[in-house]
């Protein structure tokens, strides 16, 4: 295909200016040609942005490939069977955490990006899941395993890997560099040329790659395209904020990092506008929001402030900090969305809560989590001190009580947390252990020595099926109720990820309330939640319900006939009060001019 052809010109116009922000003009020219060669056979005819990538129907699951095991059967095959049996009509997408050969960090030290870990299964298993659910695949972009072929080449001074990594003099002042862990930033390595110190942001086994080398960029473009070919509809950029390194800076969120994210979005746009790019940046809220760019970077960003703030609200029984945060959150730009979650394979990150909780509340939260069996992971500050980085705990056990101690409301409190998450602006995602009400895996922490293992339990399939078959277990109760709520949620157009959201201000501080309205303005939902362990009065007049409409609670089925009524909410009860129940038609995104 000629360089004067319309497809090449389209790629040039979209890609080359972004490459020129990072590399020299000559390098940008070369990379444009190389990228065109990689995507020319799969170019989308129109290349127009798809503003209907998601709607109110989207709900995702987050899971490891081996969260459920059954003897010698490939865990990915077991997972596929479990999803098809229990969640086929509940969730629409599945984020399978790194399913590649790895050496540490439960998958995030990848040895080979293009193979499926044989202990998990095969590409056939991945494609089976991708056939029934929208697949999210991890691009662990900041680092590779020290056992990766590239790093072996680096140690032997062989191409291409010999130029793929970052070395530094340990005598240099690197104190400004933001650290997520307390391990050394530089790791000494014996090479054919003697000892070198390589950059290792996360651990000695996770070696940072050097995107300043344009060949590294091309390697990752190839990996992204391979994931798309395998059926991925979401590409998750893991720890992308650390991507670019520049001496004399904190090496976080640098302009070059944002340019690379934007470049990946443009490439995906050219190949398949229906694919979404999501950034994982566990940082304070303002920094996290920057990855929307000018609606030209990530399609979705993780709503990292939600888990610690929601947890604290339920610990304290008050909505004040949650309301303050919600009022400060801008609507996601057109073509973008928040990725809402309350638990994940990692802990509950505390950096996003910095400056949002009082000192006393912060300490009370940490103490309560320790009392409920949780662990606290620390990070190093530039001044050499340490501070809490994340709380490691099963979310179900994190909600077994409040700052006052354990009580009888664990299931109700937990369901309240999930109901709030489902109703917020954005796309909801459930960690599989939340759906299954899994307890702390303290034995696993003792075995591995890693705090995060506490929330990475592996269920035996037969044990799990037995627990789910007994309606008296918390596992069965939680899964059944969450499935019911998710199915209700998926029918409401007011829960479109980009539907209008306003924070409400009931007089009662124990109530957290907000209003959602569908994009077509024909459905409203008042989402109200009792955050306390005591019954609370909801003054319906606080909601300003339109008196000419009939109002229903989607969750309980209760009908409201008088907007002057005082409605009593039980401890941790949630209501979704709507004027148009079970609406199932599709919203249309606003026309983009």
Which domains are present in the chain?
60-140+217-495 (3.20.20.80), 143-208 (3.90.400.10), 500-578 (2.60.40.1180)
Out of 205, 208, 238, 533, pick the active-site residue.
238
Q: pLDDT for 98-142, tens place per residue?
A: 999 999 999 999 999 999 999 999 999 999 999 999 999 999 999
Mean pLDDT, range 23-29, rounded to an integer: 97
For 195-225, give one letter per residue: b (16+ CB within 10 A) or e: ebbbbbbbbbbbbbbbbebbebbbbbbebbb
Alpha-carbon span 583 to 492, nearest angstrom = 5
Mean pLDDT, range 225-249, rounded to an integer: 96
- The answer to whether 238 is annotated as binding is yes
- The answer to whether 529 is annotated as binding is no
**Bridge partners, 62 (sequence order):** 95, 431
pLDDT at 582: 60
Q: What dihedral angle (degrees, nearest 10) is formed by the CA atoms of 249, 250, 251, 252?
A: -130
Is 238 considered catalytic here? yes
pLDDT at 593: 28
Q: What dihedral angle (degrees, nearest 10) is formed by the CA atoms of 576, 577, 581, 583?
A: -60
pLDDT-derived band at 585 (thresholds 50, 70, 90) equals very low
Residue 583 pLDDT greater than 60, yes or no: no
pLDDT at 141: 97
Which run of H or E residues covers position 355?
none
Alpha-carbon span 413 to 205, nearest angstrom = 39
pLDDT-derived band at 148 (thresholds 50, 70, 90) equals very high
Which string of DSSP letters, residue by residue, matches 362-395?
A: HHHHHHHHHHTT-EEEEEE-TTS-EEEEEEES-H
Alpha-carbon span 108 to 101, nearest angstrom = 10
Q: pLDDT for 529-556, tens place per residue?
A: 999 999 999 988 888 888 778 899 999 9
Alpha-carbon span 87 to 523, nearest angstrom = 27
Average the pLDDT over each of 39-48, 232-241, 488-497 and give the range with the smallest value.
Answer: 39-48
Are the CB atoms for 72 and 106 separated by under 8 Å? no
pLDDT at 588: 44
The pLDDT > 90 percentage for the chain reads: 84
Residue 273 pLDDT greater than 90, yes or no: yes
In 3-state terms, the chain is what percent helix, strand and coil (to 5)? 35, 20, 45
pLDDT-derived band at 7 (thresholds 50, 70, 90) equals confident
Q: Where are the alpha helices (DSSP H) in 272-357?
A: 285-289, 306-316, 320-328
Strand 375-380 relative to strand 348-349: parallel, antiparallel, unpaired? unpaired
Give the predicted TM-score (pTM) of the model: 0.95
The pLDDT > 70 percentage for the chain reads: 97
Cα 272 from chain centroid? Answer: 22
Residue 1 pLDDT greater than 70, yes or no: no
Closest CA to 584 of 526, 522, 527: 522
Residues in CB range of 297: below 8 A, 6 or more apart: 258, 261, 262, 265, 277, 279, 291
Q: What dihedral angle (degrees, nearest 10) is formed by the CA atoms of 149, 226, 54, 433?
A: -40
Q: pLDDT for 485-517, tens place per residue?
A: 999 999 999 999 999 999 999 889 999 999 999
Alpha-carbon span 246 to 176, nearest angstrom = 11
Strand, helix or coil at 459?
A: strand
Residue 472 class from Cβ within 10 Å (0-12 exposed, 13-18 middle, 19+ buried)?
exposed
Which string of DSSP letters, residue by residue, matches 256-292?
A: HHHHHHHHHHHHHHHH-TT-EEEE---S-HHHHHGGG
- The answer to whether 345 is annotated as binding is yes
For residue 449, what are the CA distances in angstroms to 36, 446, 452? 46, 5, 9
- The answer to whether 346 is annotated as binding is yes
Alpha-carbon span 93 to 84, nearest angstrom = 12
Alpha-carbon span 322 to 369, nearest angstrom = 19
Mean pLDDT, range 222-234, rounded to an integer: 97
Alpha-carbon span 385 to 454, nearest angstrom = 25
- The answer to whether 73 is annotated as binding is no
pLDDT at 565: 81
pLDDT at 3: 58
Alpha-carbon span 170 to 185, nearest angstrom = 9
Mean pLDDT, range 62-83, rounded to an integer: 97
Strand 186-191 relative to strand 194-199: parallel, antiparallel, unpaired? antiparallel
Unique residue bearing structure tokens 């590239």: 150
pLDDT-derived band at 4 (thresholds 50, 70, 90) equals low
pLDDT at 216: 98
Alpha-carbon span 298 to 264, nearest angstrom = 9
Q: What dihedral angle (degrees, nearest 10) is formed by the CA atoms of 52, 433, 285, 240?
A: -80
For residue 388, what are the CA distances in angstroms to 185, 242, 309, 321, 378? 18, 19, 15, 19, 4
Strand, helix or coil at 3?
A: coil
Q: pLDDT for 328-363, tens place per residue?
A: 999 999 999 999 999 999 999 888 787 788 889 999
User: How many other CB atoms are there within 10 angstroms of residue 387's CB atom?
Assistant: 12
């Amino acid at each position: 295909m000629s360089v004067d052809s319309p497809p090449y010109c389209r790629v040039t116009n979209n890609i080359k200016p972004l490459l020129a922000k990072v590399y020299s003009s000559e390098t940008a020219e070369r990379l444009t040609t190389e990228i065109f060669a990689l995507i020319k056979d799969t170019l989308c005819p129109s290349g127009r942005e798809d503003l209907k990538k998601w709607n109110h129907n989207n709900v995702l699951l987050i899971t490891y490939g081996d969260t459920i095991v059954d003897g010698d059967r490939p865990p990915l095959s077991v997972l596929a069977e479990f999803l098809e049996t229990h969640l086929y009509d509940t969730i629409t997408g599945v984020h399978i955490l790194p399913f590649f050969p790895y050496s540490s960090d439960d998958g995030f030290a990848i040895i080979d990006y293009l193979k499926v870990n044989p202990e998990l299964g095969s590409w056939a298993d991945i494609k089976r899941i991708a056939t029934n659910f929208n697949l999210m695949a991890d691009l662990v972009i900041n680092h590779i395993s020290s056992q990766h072929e590239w790093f072996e080449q680096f140690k032997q001074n062989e191409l291409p890997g010999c130029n793929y990594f970052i070395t530094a003099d340990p005598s240099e002042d690197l104190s400004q560099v933001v650290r997520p862990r307390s391990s050394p930033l530089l790791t000494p390595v014996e090479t054919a040329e003697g000892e070198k110190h390589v950059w290792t942001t996360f651990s000695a086994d996770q070696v940072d790659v050097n995107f300043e080398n344009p060949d590294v960029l091309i390697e990752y473009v190839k990996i992204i395209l391979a994931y798309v070919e395998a059926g991925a509809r979401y590409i998750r950029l893991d720890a992308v904020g650390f991507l670019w390194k520049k001496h004399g800076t904190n090496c976080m969120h640098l302009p070059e990092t944002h340019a690379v994210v934007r470049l990946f979005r443009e490439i995906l746009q050219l190949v398949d506008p229906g694919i979404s790019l999501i950034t994982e940046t566990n940082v304070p809220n303002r920094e996290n929001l920057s990855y929307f760019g000018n609606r030209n970077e990530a399609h979705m960003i993780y709503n990292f402030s939600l888990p610690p703030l929601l947890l604290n609200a339920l610990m304290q029984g008050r909505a004040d900090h949650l309301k303050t945060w919600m009022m400060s959150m801008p609507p996601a730009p057109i073509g973008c969305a928040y990725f809402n979650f309350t638990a994940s394979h990692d802990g509950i990150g505390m950096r996003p809560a910095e400056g949002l909780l009082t000192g006393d509340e912060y300490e009370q939260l940490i103490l309560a989590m320790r009392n409920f069996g949780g662990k606290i992971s620390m990070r190093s500050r530039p001044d050499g001190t340490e501070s809490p980085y994340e709380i490691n705990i099963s979310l179900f056990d994190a909600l077994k009580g409040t700052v006052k101690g354990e009580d009888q409301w664990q299931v109700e409190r937990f369901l309240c947390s999930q109901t709030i998450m489902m109703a917020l602006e954005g796309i909801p995602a459930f960690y599989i252990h939340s759906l299954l009400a899994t307890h702390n895996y303290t034995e696993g922490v003792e075995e591995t020595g890693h705090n995060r293992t506490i929330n990475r339990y592996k269920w035996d399939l037969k044990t799990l099926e037995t627990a789910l078959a007994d309606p008296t277990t918390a596992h069965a109760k939680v899964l059944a109720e969450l499935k019911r709520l998710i199915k209700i949620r998926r029918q409401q157009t007011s829960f479109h990820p980009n539907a209008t959201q306003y924070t409400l201000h009931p007089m009662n501080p124990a109530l957290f309330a907000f209003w959602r309205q569908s994009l077509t303005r024909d459905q409203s939902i008042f989402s109200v939640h009792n955050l306390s362990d005591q019954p609370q009065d909801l003054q319906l007049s606080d909601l300003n319900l339109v008196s000419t409409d009939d109002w229903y609670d989607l969750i309980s089925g209760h009908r409201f006939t008088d907007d002057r009524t005082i409605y009593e909410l039980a401890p941790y009860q949630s209501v979704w009060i709507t004027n148009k129940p079970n609406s199932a038609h599709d919203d249309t995104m606003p026309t983009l001019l």
